[in-house]
């Protein structure tokens, strides 16, 4: 398949390009588009054949459900049974990097939800995503636009590496601002009332969610390794993800101890290092992959997936990275990095 690449600087001025992209979606084709989190591989969420094409293009098992993207928060009610808690979340965080899982309405086919009776809904804030969904007039099902098992793409060059020849069109909207996929919560209810289960941490933090809903449970798979016999709440959590070809090892220790460990390792092995800016003057320059200043979690999130892709090109034997803190945006980084490292954490003590 021939893939058309279109640079979108301003969706308002490029209405004709957006209209053409929307026409492809309505006709059952696939369009990759930018969002504020990562690039999405989009197709008509109400069209079972389009969902099948998405799974095929991504090389993804079809029991792993897709997120459906809507142009306005209130559109969720057309596709899912929303409630008062959804309305509060929408008021607080939408449009933005939050996905909410709710009971599915029949208009969304089971092939889109991986056979589940629930559906994940997100209203992205990126102007190109918004313009495309609004012009398509249908909800757009979109997983991250990477081949299954690769880090999610955060720029059009990474999309092209994975999706050229597999989709009809790629809309290039530059770098994704956040760089990690959306926060996913499930609306739940028990005898004590409503609560949220956090299935995937992202740009909307645990603390921010707690301001809207006093009860937020964190699914075990967010921080722990699931044993093979456990069925995760979110099917995607069971798949190996975000993993570069080179093994990743996370280092846990004081800044001084970890730096001195890295210096020692550089002397004896070919290692790539996802390092903090403060460490650069003290390390050999080869195969350094800076992720921003130590306290700058937003830059770390913004650069992480690019750095993981770059690490593969360096032909190192191992990639070292810091174990992130679990607070704030750190929890999302922690979740992605322990999976990239297949839970390999080395405790460093001098």
CB closest to Mg ion, residue no: 144
**Residue written as token pair 């081949």:** 147
182 binds Mg ion (CB under 5 A): no
Q: Which of 21, 135, 140, 142 binds ligand TXA (CB under 6 A)?
A: 142
CB nearer ligand TXA, residue 67 or residue 297: 67
Cis peptide before 95 (omega within 30 of 0): yes
Q: How many CB atoms lie within 10 A of CB 219?
A: 20
40 binds ligand TXA (CB under 6 A): yes
* Among Mg ion, ligand TXA, none, residue 35 binds (CB under 5-8 Å by kind): ligand TXA
Task: Tell me which residues in 110-169 interact with Mg ion (CB under 5 A).
Answer: 144
148 binds ligand TXA (CB under 6 A): no
How far apart are CB 322 and ligand TXA at their closest, in Å?
A: 24
246 binds ligand TXA (CB under 6 A): no
Instruction: Give the separation between CA 192 and CA 115, rounded to whole angstroms.
Output: 29
Site pattern 74..113 for ligand TXA (x: CB under 6 A): -------------------------x-x-----------x
Q: Which of 73, 95, 143, 179 binds ligand TXA (CB under 6 A)?
A: 143
Q: How many CB atoms lie within 10 A of CB 103?
A: 13
How far apart are CB 79 and ligand TXA at their closest, in Å?
A: 12
Helix (H) or strand (E) holding 100: strand 98-103
CB nearer ligand TXA, residue 38 or residue 291: 38
Contact criterion met (CB below 8 Å) for 174 and 58: no
Contact criterion met (CB below 8 Å) for 240 and 334: no
Burial grade of 13 (CB within 10 A; 0-12, 13-18, 19 or more): exposed
Q: Which residues share a beta bridge with 112? A: none
Contact criterion met (CB below 8 Å) for 79 and 61: no
204 binds ligand TXA (CB under 6 A): no
220 secondary structure, DSSP code:
G
Task: Tell me which residues in 158-187 interact with ligand TXA (CB under 6 A).
Answer: 181-182, 184
How far apart are CB 283 and ligand TXA at their closest, in Å?
A: 32
User: Is residue 49 classed as helix, strand or coil in its secondary structure?
Assistant: helix
How far apart are CB 255 and ligand TXA at their closest, in Å?
A: 31
CB nearer Mg ion, residue 144 or residue 303: 144
Instruction: Give the separation between CA 163 and CA 32, rounded to whole angstroms.
Output: 8
Question: Count of alpha carbons within 13 Å of 5, Cβ hemisphere only?
Answer: 12
* Among ligand TXA, Mg ion, none, residue 118 binds (CB under 5-8 Å by kind): ligand TXA
Instruction: Give the separation between CA 295 and CA 306, rounded to whole angstroms.
Output: 19
Question: Count of alpha carbons within 13 Å of 63, Cβ hemisphere only?
Answer: 8
64 binds ligand TXA (CB under 6 A): yes
Contact criterion met (CB below 8 Å) for 199 and 102: no
Instruction: Give the separation between CA 327 and CA 206, rounded to whole angstroms.
Output: 9
Q: Which of 24, 25, 38, 273 binds ligand TXA (CB under 6 A)?
A: 38
From the list 85-93, 141-149, 245-253, 264-272, the region that binds ligand TXA by CB under 6 A is 141-149
Burial grade of 38 (CB within 10 A; 0-12, 13-18, 19 or more): buried
65 binds ligand TXA (CB under 6 A): yes
CB nearer ligand TXA, residue 38 or residue 57: 38
How far apart are CB 68 and Mg ion at their closest, in Å?
A: 15
Q: What is the binding site for Mg ion (CB under 5 A)?
A: 144
Q: What is the binding site for ligand TXA (CB under 6 A)?
A: 35, 37-38, 40, 64-67, 99, 101, 113, 116, 118-120, 122, 142-144, 181-182, 184, 199, 234-236
């Amino acid at each position: 398949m021939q893939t058309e690449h279109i640079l979108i600087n301003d969706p308002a001025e490029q209405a004709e390009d957006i209209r053409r992209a929307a026409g492809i979606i309505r006709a059952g084709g696939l369009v990759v588009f930018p969002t504020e989190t990562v690039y999405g591989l989009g197709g008509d969420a109400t069209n079972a054949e389009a969902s099948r094409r998405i799974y095929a293009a991504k090389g993804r098992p079809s029991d792993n459900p897709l997120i459906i993207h809507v142009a306005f928060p209130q559109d969720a009610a057309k596709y899912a049974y929303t409630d008062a808690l959804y309305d509060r979340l929408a008021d607080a965080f939408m449009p933005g990097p939050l996905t909410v899982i709710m009971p599915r309405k029949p208009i969304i086919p089971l092939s889109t939800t991986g056979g589940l009776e629930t559906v994940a809904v997100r209203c992205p804030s990126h102007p190109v995503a918004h313009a495309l969904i609004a012009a398509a007039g249908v909800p757009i099902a979109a997983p991250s636009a990477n081949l299954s098992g690769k880090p999610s793409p955060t720029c059009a060059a990474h999309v092209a590496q994975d999706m050229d020849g597999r989709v009809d069109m790629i809309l290039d909207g530059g770098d994704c601002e956040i760089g990690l996929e959306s926060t996913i919560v499930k609306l739940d209810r028990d005898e004590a009332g409503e609560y949220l289960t956090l299935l995937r941490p992202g740009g909307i933090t645990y603390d921010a969610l707690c301001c809207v809903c006093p009860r937020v449970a964190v699914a075990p798979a967010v921080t722990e390794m699931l044993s093979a016999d456990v069925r995760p709440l979110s099917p995607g959590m069971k798949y190996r993800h975000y993993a570069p070809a080179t093994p990743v090892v996370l280092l846990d220790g004081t800044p001084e101890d970890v730096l001195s460990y890295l210096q020692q390792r550089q002397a004896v092995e070919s290692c790539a290092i996802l390092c903090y800016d403060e460490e650069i003057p003290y390390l050999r320059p080869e195969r350094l992959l800076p992720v921003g200043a130590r306290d700058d979690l937003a830059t770390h999130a913004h650069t992480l997936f690019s750095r993981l892709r770059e690490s593969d090109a360096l032909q190192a034997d191992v990639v070292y990275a810091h174990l992130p803190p679990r607070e704030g945006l750190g929890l999302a980084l922690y979740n992605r990095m322990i999976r990239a490292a297949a839970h390999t954490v080395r405790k460093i003590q001098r």
